[in-house]
Amino acid sequence: MSTALPLLRHFIAGEFVASAKTFANISPIDGRQLSQVCEADAHQVDQAVAAARAAQAGPWAAYSSSQRADMLLRIAQGIEQRFEEFVAAEVADTGRPVHQARTLDIARAVHNFRTFAELLRQSGGEYFEMRAADGNEVFSYTVRKPHGVVAIISPWNLPLLLLTWKVAPALACGNSVVVKPSEDSPSSATLLAEVMRDAGLPSGVFNLVHGFGPQSTGEFLTRNPDVDAITFTGETRTGSTIMKAAAEGVREVSFELGGKNAAVVFADCDFDAAVAGVLRSSFSNSGQVCLCSERVYVERPIYERFVAAMAAGAEALKIGYPDEDGVNMGSLISHKHRDKVLGYFQLARDEGATQVTGGGVPHFGDARDNGAYVQPTIWTGLGDDARCMREEVFGPVCHIAPFDSEDEVVRRVNDCAYGLATALWTRDLKRAHQVSRRFHVGMVWVNTWFLRDLRTPFGGARLSGLGREGGHHSLDFYSAITTICVNP
């Protein structure tokens, strides 16, 4: 007897609603279908935007910032109360190890709401005094108001973490939101809608629409003229398309886009810490983190030893089921994405790379052979102009190259269309400070990776993004600021 699959619906004006059109949500762990997902058409997207607009004139508008902070804390608590359901949803959609979903994805979602609740309580306006020509003491101050309706479009690689990174500050600032999660990871966002409802968030403040991007839900949302601001995380090419849509009506945008990040390892580093750090920055989440290092530059005296240690480390990574003991790496997000990554594995061979390890698909002899797994892969021997050195692969792969001087490595790292992050490994902190500021990126890590204080600005340079979010930068993006000048 077959069991009916769950149907993931949209959440519009406080109600779960279905669409005629649906698509299958396939788990990359073993190719099993998890659910059927509704795809919002243009009319449903318009309804979601209209609900968000109406909510701006409803009870939400009367919430003080302190009441909004309390609401964020209730949402954080709501996620915590259903923590294991969120973990299961994220794991099934993405194939990531359970321990990662627990300690990173879902934990960070809770933390996002708590952080912005706290920041909201501490945030204030600006105040200035000046003397006018008539001798009067004039003062100016600023007030923050919501933009109104914010569209939030998110990717699949850290689904709930990246979605709530934007939902939390948008709500903190009093906006209503229409969110569109990736078609490849729709489950945790659906649970989030339930949490919003159960937390008592007024209807229409949080709306969720499922679907695809081009000529589907995502495009309908960005083209809706009643959306006041668009915040997006995803590929650079998609960001560029969304920017064109946002130009109509000169709407605010914030973009967190792709990367081709470097790790730079100086010979004076703590060798074992650097190997462990670069293994992590190359292979975490199967290399599907925008901040992963795909280009590794190692100072020549330790180059051979470093490559050997990285190869041994990559070969020791355990690939497997999300709940297996000691598992380090899960699947990629989908078969489609695996085809893209395997295409780069082939391209690297065609471009003359030496494949130090990996380069293929693991064989399990069980249901996982229907999943979307690839081996952690290391290349050497490519020139800096190779396509595999310039294009984002977004899989568990890095290329390791030697370098001879500080100036040389800075030039090679900066010779890149992207500018998201660089990780630096050295014991010489004076050099670390001097070199860090020479990289054209939004974020530099010294002797660590992925560590974030959520109050700091986050974003990319060049093709990696536009604007900064994090701390007061988020509150600035999600607010319309008015200056009031008073001549008493």
Residues that are catalytic: 256, 290
Contact between 112 and ligand NAD per CB under 6 A: no
d(CA 274, CA 266): 9
Applying CB under 6 A, among 19, 25, 157, 331 the residue interacting with ligand NAD is 157
Smallest separation (angstroms) from ligand NAD to the CB of 82: 23
Strand intervals (E) in 117-243: 127-131, 137-146, 149-153, 176-180, 206-208, 229-233
469 is a contact residue toward ligand NAD (CB under 6 A): no
Per CB under 6 A, contacts with ligand NAD among 444-463 are: 460
Rule CB under 6 A: choose which of 204, 213, 358, 419 binds ligand NAD.
213
d(CA 221, CA 179): 9
Q: How many CB atoms lie within 10 A of CB 132?
A: 10
Shortest distance, CB of residue 43 to ligand NAD, whole angstroms?
A: 17
Residue 8 binding ligand NAD, by CB under 6 A: no
Angle between helices 429-436 and 406-414 (to 10 degrees): 40
Q: Looking at 78, 159, 169, 259, which residue binds ligand NAD (CB under 6 A)?
A: 259
CB atoms within 10 A of CB 432: 18
CB of 182 to ligand NAD, least distance (A): 4
Angle at 486 between CA 483 and CA 488, to 5 degrees: 170
Does residue 302 contact residue 268 with C-beta atoms inside 8 Å? no
Which residue in the set 60, 86, 113, 156 belongs to the binding site for ligand NAD (CB under 6 A)?
156
Query: Which residue among 94, 203, 224, 238 contacts ligand NAD (CB under 6 A)?
Result: 238
Q: Which of 162, 167, 246, 302 is close enough to bind ligand NAD by CB under 6 A?
A: 162
Nearer to ligand NAD among residue 356 and residue 454 (C-beta)? 454
For ligand NAD, which stretch binds (CB under 6 A), given 179-187, 295-303, 346-354, 446-454? 179-187
Q: Give the x/- contact pattern for ligand NAD in 298-327, rule: CB under 6 A.
A: ------------------------------
What distance in Å separates the CA atoms of residue 242 and residue 235, rounded to the nearest whole number?
A: 11
With 0-12 / 13-18 / 19 or more C-beta atoms within 10 angstroms meaning exposed / middle / buried, residue 172 is buried
Does 344 participate in binding ligand NAD (rule CB under 6 A)? Answer: no
Exactly one of 290, 296, 327, 372 binds ligand NAD (CB under 6 A); which one?
290
219 lies in the site for ligand NAD, by CB under 6 A: yes
Alpha-carbon span 294 to 398, nearest angstrom: 4
Comparison of 25 and 154: residue with beta carbon closer to ligand NAD:
154
List Cβ neighbours of 199 (8 Å cut-off, separation of 6 or more). 71, 74, 75, 77, 78
Shorter beta-carbon distance to ligand NAD: residue 163 or 302: 163
Q: Rule CB under 6 A: is residue 222 a binding residue for ligand NAD?
A: yes
Task: Answer yes or no whether residue 228 interacts with ligand NAD by CB under 6 A.
Answer: no
Please give the radius of gyration of the chain, using alpha carbons only, rounded to the nearest integer: 24
Nearer to ligand NAD, 218 or 313 (CB): 218
DSSP conformation class of 202 = P
Assess 420 for contact with ligand NAD (CB under 6 A).
Answer: yes
Which residues in 267-405 belong to E strands, given as ranges?
293-299, 354-357, 377-380, 397-403
Candidates 232, 38, 88; CA nearest to 151 is: 232
Using CB under 6 A as the binding rule, whether residue 233 contacts ligand NAD is answered as: yes
| CA dist., res. 295 & res. 386, Å (int) | 12
Instruction: Determine the residue with CB nearest ligand NAD.
Output: 213
Q: Specify which residues 424 forms β-bridges with.
A: 264, 446
Cα separation of 172 and 210, whole Å? Answer: 23
Q: Which of 25, 44, 182, 187 binds ligand NAD (CB under 6 A)?
A: 182
What is the distance in angstroms between the CA of the first residue and the CA of the last residue of the chain? 78
Does 169 sit near ligand NAD (CB under 6 A)?
A: no
Q: How many residues does the chain have?
A: 488
Nearest approach in angstroms of CB 214 to ligand NAD is: 4
Q: Is 419 in the site for ligand NAD (CB under 6 A)?
A: no
Q: Find, among 187, 175, 181, the residue nearest to 229 by Cα.
A: 175
Binding residues with ligand NAD: total (CB under 6 A): 32
Instruction: Name 480's bridge partners.
Output: 145
Whichever of 193 and 432 has its CB closer to ligand NAD, that residue is: 193
Nearest distance in Å: CB 389, ligand NAD: 16
Q: Can residue 186 be called a binding residue for ligand NAD (CB under 6 A)?
A: no
Kindly state whether residue 465 participates in binding ligand NAD, applying the rule CB under 6 A. Answer: yes
Binding site for ligand NAD (CB under 6 A): 153-157, 162, 180, 182-183, 212-214, 218-219, 222, 233-235, 238, 241-242, 256-259, 290, 392, 394, 420, 460, 464-465
